[in-house]
Structure 1
Amino acid sequence: MASAYLVLDVVAVLLALWAIRRVLVNRSTLRHFPPGPRGLPIIGNLFDVPTSQEWQTYSTWADRWGDLLSMNVLGQRIVIISSVKVAFDLFEKRSLIYSDRPHLVVAGETLGHMNTIPMAPYGERMRKIRRMFTKAVGTKALLEDFMPLMSETIHDYLMNLIQKPQDFKDHIRLMTSTNILLISHGHRVKDSNDRFLQLSDTVTDEFSEAVTPGAFLVDQFPLLRHIPSWVPGAGWQKTAEKYRQHVADAVAEPFAFVKAQMATGAAVPSFVSRNLDPAAAAAPDAAHEHDVKYAAMALYTAGSDTTASALTSFFLAMTLFPEAQRAAQAELDAVVGPDRLPTFADRERLPYINALCAEVLRWMPVGPLGLPHRLTEDDTYEGYVLPKGTVFFVNNWKLLHDPATYRAPMAFRPERFLGAAPELDPSRIAFGYGRRICPGILVAEATIFITVAATLAAFTIAPVVEHGKPVLPPVQQTSGIISHPAPFRCDVKPRSAKAEALVLAAVENR
């Protein structure tokens, strides 16, 4: 009898082992993740995640593992997309389940950026905020109200270039900040000491830091938020609180300015004024006012820095590619002529200038990786399992330099977007995807166009000459969610005495 029981026990064990094996095999089959670097036990690929120039590392990985590769970082599945097809298949065709954002304890929750359009969870509130953008700046007709004041800002920028050409980057930043604050809050910046402008710069820099993977350990271990700030290792709380106050000020102060202007009837059209009912300005709905505040803050902080980055890249490109500059100036001379500066009304008649603006966005993308997307349902793609909660990054730099999409991708060739068979419009990539496409795209494109056109009409940009030889700057850009060209020098001079006189007259005669 004992031997019978022993046999039964052995059979039971064998059956249990067989069942476990079947479960493990089935689970392994079902959880067939995209390939990627082999991780370590428990921590996975924690030490594989690049901390700088991430897009370069991911591009190298894509050459080895393909256009859809994945990592496991402390249990979090992260997928890197490296082709236009995959990005469009998932973020455009399946946008309903690929449009969420990952929850970040510091940037989203503590600082409050989850209330803004870039970081808002996908849902009705995000759609409501997008409708606010449509109402205020969603059409070219709506933008026309801002163009007279934007033109004045452009003329001030040109004057600054005449006076201090070596400070071109500062002039760009002042101009883009001034324009976006006009649009967001109807506020006119007088100089770089403007309180709202300084808040914008501070919040933008701190946001970029806070959303950088690995910046705050609490984002990987949310339970750490409950540890008192005096405990060793919890000093991040003091940093986060300082950043949170900056966001609160950037939200409240410009909004209060608009409310005061509206109360006296002095408000000019802006994102805020267009989204507040003047009849209810004294006592607006609290929830609606909250959304308008944060949406406007995101418009003027993110919009200023990203556009400034693109325009700085434009100066770098003109320094390195004089043939493109000459072609653009030839078009301006033929269409606009020598007796005036270009205006927004010239845009449709300047195809090469528009193509040059597009090439700037492609050649040195402002967001090499963009903001992360989060999958809200289990999904499969080309045989791979993509579980709910997976976080996705698109290697925009790789997409915009893929020779399968762009011929000679490292070259600066605006003509690639002209003719009967233009290459893919880079705005399809540079401004995001699907339901997460940048709602301020028309503002950004209009600002880039008028700045490029006006600059090339009035100035020539060339390399600095030292010891009789031109010094060509390197093609490098900084790491981070919002990337800028690495510091460089160039020589900026008026094209002629007449061009300089046009700038002086534009400023004096308004």
Structure 2
Amino acid sequence: MLTPNVTWLDLCLAGIGVYLVKQVFNKNPASYPPGPRGWPLIGNIQDIPHIKHWLTFAEWGKKYGAISHVEVLGQHIIVINSVKSAVDMLDKKGAVYSDRPVLPMAGELVGWKHILALLPYGDRFRQYRKNIHHIIGNRAALDVYHPIEEIETRRFLKRVFSNPEQLQAHVRLTAGAITLRTSYGYEVKENNDPFIDLAERAMNNFSRSSAPGAFIVDIVPLLANVPEWFPGAGFKRLAREWRQTLKEMVDVPYKFVKEQMDAGIAPMSFTSNLLEGRILSAEEDHTVKWSAASLYAGGADSIVSTIYSLFLAMTLFPDVQKKAQAELDAVVGPDRLPSFADRDSLPYIEALVKEILRWNVVGPTSIPHRVTEDDIHDGYHIPKGSLVILNFWLVRYFSVFDISAKSKDRFMLNDPQTYANPSQFNPERFLDNNGKDPEPDPRTICFGFGRRICPGLHLADASVWISTAMSLAVFDISKVVEKDVEVTPEVDPTSGTISHPKPFKCSIKPRSAKAVALIQQDANY
């Protein structure tokens, strides 16, 4: 009961006063980074793109600067369009910017939360990375797997020669074969391999389920608790189906390695090396299994996108192809295929691989990082719990935007301050040229930043290099001619966390009779 001297109005005014005082004292002197104006309560929910989100983020970069900010139902999202900002935040402040958000769809409902890419920053994350680094953490450690990559790439040449119209399928089979033999010692079947199919379906599901704004449950996490029959909850049915596919992708090859080891016939692999001579606890078994799955999943899809992009680029830029082939002819000659032993003697091929990685970024915006404590960066307030999205962006869209002097230090792999004429496909930018220093290696950008840089980058880099060298040594790649008209492929990548060139037509023919003989050599040589 209120006393005669204290009324309900007094209590309301007091409550308002306390709220205002808290607002004053809790108000951070720094403002958020600039960004599009949102609506009350819902914030910028209507501004979040559902497809090709990197294009919208690039528009924000042009308008607002290197760092932009939006808020969706109370969730702060920071978009970085600058290499310098990415390095300053994710590299130099790694302890603050290395966490991952909880992704209701991909992580919780589908189950990808156990994969390295989505693990929160902590002890398990460090153990996964330690496992991968121990086995393939540098070029020297990867040398033991080079014969596998060379054998599988030789098989790729045979497949393409026999059926060039099925290029995309051959690329996927070969990338899967390399990662499966490296991860599990499993040798794929030539047709309809079940592990390849599993990886393709699972990684497609991952790309779709983790794309920013693709599912309403990622914006309203409480919807994760509604039943499948609830109106608008079709994502629950998808999540259940995708979860089963993921479980099979993780469990089946791991079981294969254990059975091979029990029988004493397991070949060398990432998983067998980690299991050899050990009795594992449940936690250790989980860590080894998901470390292997992380390597398998990460390599199987990213390598596919990059090698397929190589054939697209060679179709579109024949002069580059001729220069690469001239170097191969001069250094390697026509009587054998190039090998990793030739790598240091082929600088133009090396430069070409770098340009492919710059031109077609596999993950245009990466998986968001999460900020673990409040930060002030470049005078802006970055709240604890913010999601940080890196916009690597694709060079092919560069011409869409009017890049002016105000755009300095933006667009990462397309920054005109870093890469001269970034819309031009030009491997020579990475060579010593008339006294000019080479432009920065895109591998320091496209594989991520800070403590979440891709740990399998050396495996991916090696696979792309050997595919490039061997393919250009024996094949001429060009536009197809239909009804006496050259067909120029459309450059239009798919949406999703992992982006691929859309299917395209190209002509792939052996360069000579000697090239045919090299292709038809025993692939186990």
Q: Report the TM-score when normalising by structure 2.
A: 0.91
Q: How far did 1:21 drift?
A: 6.3
Q: How far did 1:223 drift?
A: 2.8
Counterpart AA for 2:231:
P
Q: Which residue in the other structure is 1:323 paired with?
A: 319
Counterpart AA for 2:427:
P
Task: Provide the rounded CA distance (Å) in 2 between the counterparts of 1:14 and 1:218.
Answer: 38
Task: Provide the rounded CA distance (Å) in 2 between the counterparts of 1:12 and 1:242.
Answer: 54
Check conservation: 2:44, 2:71, Cα contact below 8 A. Answer: yes
Q: Which residue in the other structure is 2:112 paired with?
A: 113
RMSD over aligned Cα, in angstroms? 2.3
Q: Which residue in the other structure is 1:412 paired with?
A: 425
Q: How far did 1:140 drift?
A: 2.3
Counterpart AA for 1:305:
D
1:95-494 residue pairs with structure 2 within 5 A?
95-276=94-275, 278-280=276-278, 283-397=279-393, 398-419=411-432, 421-494=437-510
Write the deviation string for residues 44-92 of structure 1: whole angstroms up to 9, x where unpaired: 1101111112111111111111110000011100011011110110011
Task: Provide the rounded CA distance (Å) in 1 between the counterparts of 2:12 and 2:46.
Answer: 40
Query: Matched residue of 2:93: which SS?
Result: coil
Task: Provide the rounded CA distance (Å) in 2 between the counterparts of 1:225 and 1:17.
Answer: 35
Counterpart AA for 1:438:
C
Matched, 1:67 2:66: yes
Counterpart AA for 1:72:
E
Write the deviation string for residues 450-471 of structure 1: whole angstroms up to 9, x where unpaired: 0000000000111112343322
Identity across aligned pairs (percent)?
45
Counterpart AA for 1:380:
I
Task: Provide the rounded CA distance (Å) in 2 between the counterparts of 1:112 and 1:29.
Answer: 37
Q: How far did 1:210 drift?
A: 1.1
Write the deviation string for residues 389-448 of structure 1: whole angstroms up to 9, x where unpaired: 000111101211111111110111001111151111101111011100101001000000
Query: Matched residue of 2:43: which SS?
Result: coil
Which stretches in structure 2 are left out of the alignment for 5+ residues? Answer: 394-410
Counterpart AA for 2:128:
I
Q: Which residue in the other structure is 2:397 paired with?
A: none
Check conservation: 2:106, 2:210, Cα contact below 8 A. Answer: yes
Matched, 1:80 2:93: no
Write the deviation string for residues 85-115 of structure 1: whole angstroms up to 9, x where unpaired: 1011001111111011110123112322221
Provide closer, same or farther for how the CA distance between residues 84 and 435 of structure 1 changes in structure 2, counting only shifts above 3 A: same
Check conservation: 2:30, 2:376, Cα contact below 8 A. Answer: no
Task: Provide the rounded CA distance (Å) in 2 between the counterparts of 1:11 and 1:479.
Answer: 56
Check conservation: 1:192, 1:198, Cα contact below 8 A. Answer: no
Task: Provide the rounded CA distance (Å) in 2 between the counterparts of 1:14 and 1:142.
Answer: 69
Task: Provide the rounded CA distance (Å) in 1 between the counterparts of 2:125 and 2:326.
Answer: 44
Task: Provide the rounded CA distance (Å) in 2 between the counterparts of 1:387 and 1:204.
Answer: 32
Q: How far did 1:17 drift?
A: 8.4
Counterpart AA for 1:400:
L
Query: Matched residue of 2:154: which SS?
Result: helix
Task: Provide the rounded CA distance (Å) in 1 between the counterparts of 2:151 and 2:488.
Answer: 33
Q: How far did 1:268 drift?
A: 1.1
Q: Which residue in the other structure is 2:515 paired with?
A: 499
- The alignment of Structure 1 onto Structure 2 pairs a total of residues equal to 500
Task: Provide the rounded CA distance (Å) in 2 between the counterparts of 1:295 and 1:254.
Answer: 12
